[in-house]
Amino acid sequence: MASSMLYSVLFLLLHQSLFSTANLFHKKGLFRQELDFSESQHKPLNDTTPTLFFEVTKPIKLPNTKPCSYHILQHDFGYTYDKPPVLANYTPTSHCPSQKFSKIVLQWNATCKGRQFDRIFGVWLGGAELFRSCTAEPRATGIVWNVEKDITRYYSLLMKNQTLAVYLGNLITSTYTGVYHVNITIQFYPAEKNGVSKLGDLVSKYHSPANLIIPFSQNLPLNNGLWFEIENSTDIALREFKIPQNAYRAVLEVYVSFHENDESWYSNLYNEYIEANNITGVAGNGPFREVVVCLDGQVVGAIWPFTVIFTGGVNPLLWRPITGIGSFDLPSYNIEITPFLGKIIDGKSHKFGFSVTNALNVWYIDANLHLWLDSKTTKIDGKILEHVSSPLVVSLVSDFKGLNGTFLSSVSRSVSSTGWVMSSHGNITTNWIQNFSYNNSMLIESNGDLQIVNQTIHFNDSVHAKLPSSSVFSTESHKKFDLYSYYNELDEGNGTSVSSENVTLGFFEKKSKDVGFGFSKCSLENVQNGQGNMAVKNNLVVSGLGSTQQVYKYDGSDFCYFRNVSSSNYTILYDELGNICHKGTRSNSGFRLGNMQTFPA
């Protein structure tokens, strides 16, 4: 990047408001402006106790063993923008009585005080991303937040010497003073003595973490996160790779986040509307986005991402202290590569490519290739039997006159692949299917001061692996991502305007799994509603309100979890917790149910 461009970006970042750093402009009607958001203008600061921020999610199911704690990093993230990631040497834990673990949990603990933006950040081990998240926006009396993530799937990485890298690009000025004080700890839970696997050899391996993980990220050293940056719809991030020739299963895990002009892609305006009204300085390309994954130039899978709203998005008061769904632990997405192994276990180099349909700057994308290896041979055979990747089917009906109108769009796509590998376990045939559908309705009225968006994404996928005589592994996931967004602004004259915001987020998923020893299923219903308003005078927020209600319901074959919580301007109004299973009890430290699968070190 040329130095003049860098200075321009720094100037913009240094003069943003206390909303989201991921979006350089914020809405005034359909347009963007910079606002000064000072907490003292809307709430007295009588309480000196730091506020606990949190994302509502189910606790991690833990074994009944005492964990070995590994504190790997403590760092104060002050002025870290455009500087190298913070690094730490990682060595596998050696002080544990047992070197066989059934659960490994990453703990992120952070505090901040003062005034600061929300910041996207990532944690990588050996170049493989383990965790992507957004910081909370602090207040004068301080905040604290803690996130726990199950990282057991990275078992093979965690058993080797590695470099841990953390990038959190923060800016410190005389106005924006918040320094993020961070501690990262990894908890290793030894396997229970009665947790030894009784599964068959092949089924057990499918139920276990991968033997090898190959990262698809940028190499150190660099002055940024290790993610690739996708800046437009023609941009493709390519990475060459070569895999061992004894791989019998492969899953590509993809991390995705969207920022700046595409942070609110679901409400971006259509280009025909922008051009017809001669509008400048607004985000366009419409409200549909798709992450496309290619192998040697061929589409092998897609991701239609959940609409994560960061802690500075829409109206920052909505996310204090209950943050948006996925904001503290952004989801990653799996693409089954196993049907294509016959093409890539030839000992030659191949390429994965990542692109985003309709993208504006900027998307952060990287991936981890999880590989299961056949320990009884150094080379196996395989073949792709069938692959069908249908093109996008797009429909748009628009009806607008001037700045007012309606837009109805729908999109669909499917991807399916079947292939076999001949390993020491036998001939395994794997079928992988993805089906997507998308609907977005957008209403614009009051000459652009009112916008209402209703969006639904259906994201379904399935994997079925079988031997000639029996099933080895089968899983299905049916996801639905809902979003409702209402924004209205009234100009009251004398440089004063009043806005109101209503947001609904819904994350629904039904999953089933059969790994040869029994059938399990689970469902998640996670719905969040927020209502906010702000009064702005001369770009200064003089008053504001944010209220949020959330209902989280998880029903599983092993345990269940329920939470109903509400907040308004930092205050929890009610918080109901429950375990609606017929058996088991609720524990503040997590559910400890049943025997856990053992993964040898």
> How do residues 276-327 score in pLDDT, each as one tens digit?
999 999 999 999 999 999 999 999 999 999 999 999 999 999 999 999 999 9
Give the span between the Cα atoms of 324 and 317, in whole angstroms.
Answer: 11
Between 262 and 558, the more confident residue is: 262
Phi/psi class of residue 378: alpha, beta or left (left: φ > 0; alpha: ψ in -120 to 50)?
alpha
Dump strand ranges (E) for 375-448: 381-389, 393-401, 404-423, 426-445
Radius of gyration over every alpha carbon of the chain, rounded to an integer in angstroms:
24
Give the span between the Cα atoms of 148 and 106, in whole angstroms.
Answer: 6
Cα 57 to Cα 329, 394, 590: the distances in Å are 10, 34, 11
Give the span between the Cα atoms of 60 and 554, in whole angstroms.
Answer: 12
Q: Considering the entire predicted model, what is its pTM?
A: 0.90
Give the span between the Cα atoms of 310 and 330, in whole angstroms.
Answer: 10
428 and 466 Cβ atoms separated by less than 8 Å: yes
3-state helix, strand, coil in the chain (%, to 5): 10, 50, 40
532 and 543 Cβ atoms separated by less than 8 Å: no
Which of 341, 182, 179, 385 is closest to 247 using CA atoms?
Answer: 341
Instruction: Check whether 588 has a pLDDT greater than 60.
Output: no
Mean pLDDT of the residues in the chain:
88
When pLDDT is cut at 50, 70 and 90, the band that residue 98 belongs to is: confident
Supply the DSSP symbol for 229: E
Q: What is the pLDDT of residues 381-423, one digit of tens each?
A: 999 999 999 999 999 999 999 999 999 999 999 999 999 999 9
- pLDDT value for 201: 65
Exposure string of 249-264, with b = 16+ CB inside 10 Å and e = fewer, is: bbbbbbbbbbbbbbbb
When pLDDT is cut at 50, 70 and 90, the band that residue 516 belongs to is: low
Between 156 and 98, the more confident residue is: 156
Return the percentage of the chain with pLDDT > 90, whole number. 78
Hey, how many other C-beta atoms are within 10 angstroms of the C-beta on 126?
Answer: 21
Single-letter residue type at 219: N
When pLDDT is cut at 50, 70 and 90, the band that residue 583 belongs to is: very low
- pLDDT value for 193: 79
Give the span between the Cα atoms of 486 and 451, in whole angstroms.
Answer: 6
Which of 119, 218, 230, 95 is closest to 176 using CA atoms?
Answer: 119
Between 97 and 217, the more confident residue is: 217
- pLDDT value for 19: 37
Instruction: Check whether 595 has a pLDDT greater than 70.
Output: no
Give the span between the Cα atoms of 461 and 433, in whole angstroms.
Answer: 5
Instruction: Check whether 74 has a pLDDT greater than 80.
Output: yes
Mean pLDDT of 156-172: 97
When pLDDT is cut at 50, 70 and 90, the band that residue 97 belongs to is: confident
- pLDDT value for 46: 57
Q: What is the pLDDT of residues 110-154, one digit of tens each?
A: 999 999 999 999 999 999 999 999 999 999 999 999 999 999 999
Mean pLDDT of 164-184: 96
When pLDDT is cut at 50, 70 and 90, the band that residue 45 belongs to is: low
